[in-house]
Structure 1
Amino acid sequence: MRLTDFWARLEQAFGLGYAGSIAADQVLTQLGGRTIEQALADGEPTAAVWRAVCAAYPDRVPPRLR
């Protein structure tokens, strides 16, 4: 998954303003206690980070974006 696709999906799932907050502020256990931004900066594959987002927010991410 390209990084631009990742951000587009995150914005579709959470909205333009809230997606940035989720990425910067929410620590996910699925990412080893890191935020989305930290995981991406550490070189985690975007597809793995997206799977973690889907697992952390199963009710928020619509099936069409999974």
Structure 2
Amino acid sequence: MSEIDLTKRRSHALLRGGPPNPENIPAGCAFHPRCPIAQDICRAEAPAFRPAGASRARCHFAGET
């Protein structure tokens, strides 16, 4: 198990809006309405897990930045 380096700072993107309504989840990626990099594929197709650094994320573009 690795230790957390509390001296490192990361920038986090602030997302507009709120989380998706669980009773009316949008088609495709549930977070596309508030994602700053959403594209047509995000509105049409739910993403699978993809590698994202040392972790994984459900994003069509994970690991590309």
Superposition TM-score tier, normalisation by shorter sequence? under 0.3
Relative to total residues, which structure has the larger strand share, 1 or 2? 2
Structure with more contact order per residue of length (Cα contacts < 8 Å, sep ≥ 6): 1
Q: Which has the larger radius of gyration?
A: 2
* TM-score, structure 2 normalization: 0.27
* TM-score, structure 1 normalization: 0.27
